[in-house]
Chain A
Amino acid sequence: DAKTTQPPSMDCAEGRAANLPCNHSTISGNEYVYWYRQIHSQGPQYIIHGLKNNETNEMASLIITEDRKSSTLILPHATLRDTAVYYCIVRGGANNLFFGTGTRLTVIP
């Protein structure tokens, strides 16, 4: 699985869009980009995943660059409950999710 690079922390004003970047320059053609988040000390929660096209669900949008070397998770209207650690994971067929240390997003009132 390709390694990912994320900023260690970010702040976002409540109600604004939160844009969380992730670099995965060594991603290979069959590897998906996954995003999970971990609120406080709870178990990680799946958010979204994609291969090459942009994806959107009820939680977030995932924008993947054309060369697939980076992606951005967008929370369109951040709330205080979105304060969490966000993990960007690149995964192919391996039986593991390599979490790294993620980005700690703090939503500010």
Chain B
Amino acid sequence: NAGVTQTPKFRVLKTGQSMTLLCAQDMNHEYMYWYRQDPGMGLRLIHYSVGEGTTAKGEVPDGYNVSRLKKQNFLLGLESAAPSQTSVYFCASSLEGGITEAFFGQGTRLTVV
């Protein structure tokens, strides 16, 4: 099993450009999450999904959009990238939301110049 796979691993964007980060999981998990991690800080939740076709906002949703058209995929979009969105992005999935362990991808390092 691959677990949670994030694509791409690295990306450099110019301010104002758009891009989509892809997260794929092969564990048939219902819940999926997008986090960002800035230097010296813990992870902060951007958006999450409790099932196919559903999404919800987390702590820091502004400037991002998400979609969960298929159960195994969770996409994070930046419509107009800003330097403040320079960060490492982590996707995670879990079988249930409340008490089950979450599995994380290896991260996407995004730089906006």
Contact = CB atoms under 8 A, between A and B. Distances in A.
Given A42-B107, A43-B105, A96 B42 contact: no
Interface string A24-53: 000000001010000001111110010000
A46 B107 contact: no
B60 to A, nearest CB: 11
Is the interface on chain A under 10, 10 to 19, 20 to 34, or 35 or more residues? 20 to 34
Given A42-B106, A42-B107, A43-B107, A95 B101 contact: no
Given A41-B88, A44-B90, A99-B43, A92 B98 contact: yes
Contacts of A87: 42
Given A100-B42, A101-B41, A93 B107 contact: no
Interface string B43-54: 111001010000
Q: How large is the interface on B (under 10, 10 to 19, 20 to 34, 35 or more residues)?
A: 20 to 34
Contacts of B105: 43
A68 interface: no
B99 A46 contact: no
Contacts of A45: 104
Given A42-B106, A45-B104, A101-B42, A91 B99 contact: yes
Contacts of A91: 98-99
Interface in B7-64: 31, 33, 40-45, 48, 50, 56, 58-59
Given A95-B31, A95-B97, A96-B59, A43 B4 contact: yes
15 contacts: A41-B88, A41-B109, A42-B106, A43-B92, A43-B106, A43-B107, A91-B99, A92-B98, A93-B97, A93-B99, A95-B48, A95-B98, A97-B102, A99-B42, A101-B42
Interface of B: 4, 31, 33, 40-45, 48, 50, 56, 58-59, 88, 90, 92, 97-99, 101-107, 109
Given A44-B102, A92-B98, A102-B42, 20 more contacts: A41-B88, A41-B109, A43-B90, A43-B92, A43-B104, A44-B90, A46-B101, A46-B102, A46-B103, A49-B99, A95-B33, A95-B50, A95-B97, A96-B45, A96-B48, A96-B58, A97-B45, A98-B42, A101-B40, A101-B41
